[in-house]
Each structure stands twice: as C-alpha cells, then as structure tokens.
A and B are shown apart, each in its own frame.
Chain A
Amino acid sequence: MSYENYLAGEPVIITAALTGGVQGKEATPHLPETPKEIGKAAAEAEAAGASVVHVHARKDNGERTFATERFQEIDDEIRRQADDVIIQHSTGGTGASDEDRHLPLRTDPAPEMASLDMGPMNRYDHLTSENTRGLVDSLHEEMVERGIKPELEIFNDGHMNETYGLLERRELAEPVYGTLIFGPGTLTPPKPRNFINAIDNLPEGAQFNTLGFGRHQLPFVTMGILFGGHVRVGLEDNIYYERGELATSNAQLVERVARIADELGREVATPSQARDILNL
C-alpha cells in the first residue's frame, strides 16, 4: 500500500479500540468496561464510521479477564446493540499464561478477527510481555482452525522482521494485515520518517493499519489515510480529544477520523467493504 492507493481513493477501514487491557475508569470515566457498556460503545462507533471493533474483556471492577465466557457476553452485547460491525478480539495479555491467551479465540461464533502480537514489549519498569515465537505460532494455528483473520500487531521495526519470520514459518491468508504502532517505550518512535520506512518494509501486497498512541493518534491516522492505509482510534490508545480535554466517547474519536478521511477524499469502508478488503 502507498500514496498511490490514496490517489486511487480506496476505502479506509476504521477500527475502534474501545477498552484496552491496561487502563480503566481510573483514567477516564468514559472508557467502557462492562459488556453492556462495550456493546453500546461498539454500536456508537459503528454509527460514526467504524467497521471493526477491537475488544478486550474486563470484570465488573474493571480488572482484566481472558475468560471465553466474558468475551462471549461482550460479543452477544455487541451483536445485540450494533448492526454489522466486525468483532476483533485481543489475544494480548501481559503476564497471562499462553493457555489464557488462547481463550478469547473460543467464543461461539468465533470472532472474525483477532490480534496477534509479533514480539516482546516492555511494561512499567520490571515487566515484559514476551510474545514468544512459539506463542505466536500456536495462536496463529488456532486462528486458522477457527477461520479467524489475524491482525499482526507490529510494535517496532524488529517486529517487522518477526512478521517476515512468521511468513517463512507459516502460510498466511492474503492479504497480510498488519498494524504499525507508534509511541513511547518499546514502540516505534513516532516520527513521520519512521512511518514511511515501516510502510516500505511491509511484505508485498500487505494491507496496513495505523496506530499512534496518545497525542500521536491524530497525526498518525491522518498520515495513514494519506498513504493508503487503514486507521485505528479509540480510548484504548488515547483518552484525550485534544490537549487537556478528555474524549467523551470512542465514537467521538471515530467521528473525527471519518471526517478527516472524507475531507481527504477517501471513502470510509462499511463493514461489508471491510470484509471484502480483508478477505474475511
């Protein structure tokens, strides 16, 4: 994908990352945590232009859970409240066992998509989310068995190498779909030249999604639109609408990026169009 894809006017897929697995209502009261809240947020995000919702599961007190049953409750609420949005489960889980990391793949029906973290990432001062190659392979294998499209989460340039390694080890359905992630810490430094470099390094024929953390969300999704990619916004990655002003909902962030795409001449993909683009 490239600037040529932008000029061709291909639709842009907006993913809404509704909740996340790190922060909760202690950070912003607008972050959805319960199944009903997540279902409502998904419906609002879809109405605003999102065709994919990225889902993490929480207990009633906001704490993380990887239980299949909780993902099932959330999916049931999303399907009850939203129209046709594509459900993408997270398989991320710092500190969780490899067995727990598989649990979000086992709902009925399976999610259409699931995230696949391509390598390690540091958390806080004394913790690393390892995401070994063995775990990547076993998660991918179960995704293939259950007909789930992997969304490769590429935290940094090293994970681009890991992506090529995965392609050597396993056959991935086309198109390969990777999220390029920019921000602090282990993530790719959020500089435009690094964004261009990452696009150039993508496997042939890959579709890319663009994720910038915090204040980098808005400029990086705008670059993603301009370079023919897809975009992810939401309270998982950024709780502010602008400096010092909390976003009031996931939908508010989706509305803004849909408006930018429209101004820049790219159609916002419907869920049906997104399924065609991603070959779901």
Chain B
Amino acid sequence: MTCPFLAYRSEANDRQFDEPRAYCEAAEQFVQPMRADICNDRYDLSHDEHCEIYLEHADEVPAGTETGDETENAGQSAGDDA
C-alpha cells in the first residue's frame, strides 16, 4: 500500500522532468528518491511508520483512500529492486 499523498508527476513547482517522479501532495514538493521508497512502502519501509510528513497529515486522509493508489503507481513500484 502506497502513501495516499504520493503522486507521480513530470511537472510541478516550475520543475520539469523526462520521467515522472515522486511528488508529495501533503508537502507539495517532489521528494528525495530515498523518501520515495518510504512513500511506496518498498523494502522494509512504510509510510505510516517512517514518514514524518504522512504522520503529521494522517488525519487529512479521507476514509478508505489508504488502499487506492496501488494501481495508479504500479508502474513505479519496486520491480527490479531486488
């Protein structure tokens, strides 16, 4: 389950990228690649344990949306990490 605040964007905040990159809709900024692994719950990481931004904004998550982003972000999931 990925973070409900995670989106993949090619453009935001006057920045443009060739490949869509992890964007935090709570912090309203692109995130570091290491933090993107937390957003995606990759490896031994999980957004609801390791991300201070999520923990600070957790009460803003509408009920039921915690399960909704897996399909949207499937193309960006761990894949070849192992």
Q: Which residues of A contact B68 (CB under 8 A)?
A: none
Contact of A67 among B34, B42, B81 (CB under 8 A): B81
Does residue B59 face the partner (Cβ distance < 8 Å to A)?
no
Q: How far is the CA of A65 from the CA of B43 in the complex (A)?
A: 10
Number of A-B pairs, beta carbon distance below 8 Å? 88
Would you give the shortest CB distance from B44 to chain A, in whole angstroms? 5
Contact of B82 among A22, A25, A99, A125 (CB under 8 A): A99
Residues of A in contact (CB 8 Å), total 32
Does residue A59 face the partner (Cβ distance < 8 Å to B)?
yes
Interface of B is mostly: mixed
Q: Which residues of A contact B36 (CB under 8 A)?
A: 63-64
Contact with A along B62-82 (1 / 0, CB 8 A): 000000000000001000111
Would you give the shortest CB distance from A144 to chain B, in whole angstroms? 24
Would you give the shortest CB distance from B76 to chain A, in whole angstroms? 7
16 residue pairs bridging A and B, Cβ less than 8 Å apart: A22-B34, A23-B34, A26-B32, A58-B33, A61-B20, A61-B22, A62-B21, A66-B81, A66-B82, A67-B81, A93-B43, A97-B82, A100-B81, A124-B51, A124-B52, A126-B51
Are A124 and B21 CB-contacts (below 8 A) given A64-B37, A97-B44?
no
Does residue B31 face the partner (Cβ distance < 8 Å to A)?
yes
Contact with B along A219-242 (1 / 0, CB 8 A): 000000000000000000000000
* Interface size classification for chain B: 20 to 34
Q: Which residues of B contact A204 (CB under 8 A)?
A: none
Question: Whose C-beta in chain A lies nearest to the C-beta of B12?
Answer: A26
A24→B45 contact, CB < 8 A: no
Contact residues, A100-144 vs B (CB, 8 A): 100, 103, 123-127
A95→B80 contact, CB < 8 A: no
16 new A-B contacts at CB < 8 Å, known A23-B33, A26-B32, A62-B21? A22-B33, A22-B34, A26-B30, A26-B31, A27-B32, A61-B17, A61-B20, A61-B76, A62-B19, A64-B34, A67-B80, A67-B82, A94-B34, A96-B81, A97-B44, A126-B51
